[in-house]
């Protein structure tokens, strides 16, 4: 079996003194894992870093065997972006961990890969954390637990949607939800409008919501938890609201 393509590195495990088992997410191949001889040598260390995009050829004698990556080349390095910003590093670790534990090998990403790619493409922009929030929102959809946000669950209205029920994931209009607003999530308006310049409070609200649904509807069912690094992202947003 032979494969070729490009992908982002989301996991690196030492294998022996200088080799590694590397996991990638790829637009056409999904999540794949393979062995890299000499990945941790001084010559290759700059290539095999979390978040770097590489091109590769991969081989396996039979389909059941682990792939071996050959002819790897660095397409885009994000090492400096993460080394210079601890907050971005926390987001990277969180994204990589979620992709590792939530996505099965060879699953077809479909349009979900764009959310992963957008995060890396826009890393150097001031609103990079907004792209991370889009990633988590679309991860819910990819896992089949997407939210029903097109109409009010009670009235059927398509306008004045203000809240999301934490139990059902369905939208609620302001008139119905107002008496219970302290128990509901805020409606993700900027996600719906594809607005990449929302207020920090709105981004924090979306991450609170996606974290809750990821935990309740997927992670807890597999005896898993949200990545520890993710908590710092909400801390960043809460601090920015106070400045």
| pLDDT tens figures, 172-221 | 999 999 999 999 999 999 999 999 999 999 999 999 999 999 999 999 99
The number of residues in the chain equals: 243
Q: Is the pTM of this model over 0.85?
A: yes
| pLDDT for the residue 18 | 92
Class of domain 2-77: mainly beta
pLDDT tens digit string along 77-126? 999 989 889 999 999 999 999 999 999 999 999 999 999 999 999 999 99
Q: Where in the chain is the domain with CATH 2.40.50.140?
A: 2-77
Radius of gyration of the chain measured on its C-alpha atoms: 20
């Amino acid at each position: 079996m032979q494969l070729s393509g490009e992908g982002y590195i989301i996991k690196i495990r030492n294998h022996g003194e200088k080799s590694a088992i590397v996991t990638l997410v790829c637009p056409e191949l999904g999540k794949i894992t393979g062995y890299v001889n000499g990945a941790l040598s001084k010559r290759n260390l700059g290539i095999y870093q979390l978040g770097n995009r590489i091109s590769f050829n991969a081989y396996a004698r039979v389909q059941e065997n682990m792939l071996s990556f050959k002819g790897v080349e660095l397409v885009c390095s994000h090492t400096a972006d993460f080394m210079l910003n601890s907050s971005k590093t926390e987001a990277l670790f969180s994204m990589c961990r979620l992709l590792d534990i939530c996505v099965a090998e060879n699953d077809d990403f479909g349009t979900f890969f764009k959310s992963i790619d957008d995060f890396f493409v826009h890393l150097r922009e001031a609103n990079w954390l907004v792209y991370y929030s889009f990633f988590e929102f679309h991860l819910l959809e990819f896992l089949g637990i997407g939210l029903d946000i097109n109409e009010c669950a009670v009235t059927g209205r398509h306008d004045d949607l203000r809240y999301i029920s934490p139990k059902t994931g369905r939208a609620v209009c302001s008139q119905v939800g107002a008496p219970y607003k302290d128990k509901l999530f805020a409606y993700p308006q900027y996600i719906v409008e594809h607005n990449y310049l929302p207020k920090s409070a709105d981004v924090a609200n979306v991450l609170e919501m996606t974290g809750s649904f990821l935990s309740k509807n997927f992670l807890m069912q597999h005896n898993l938890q949200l990545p520890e690094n993710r908590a710092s992202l909400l801390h960043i947003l809460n601090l920015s609201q106070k400045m």
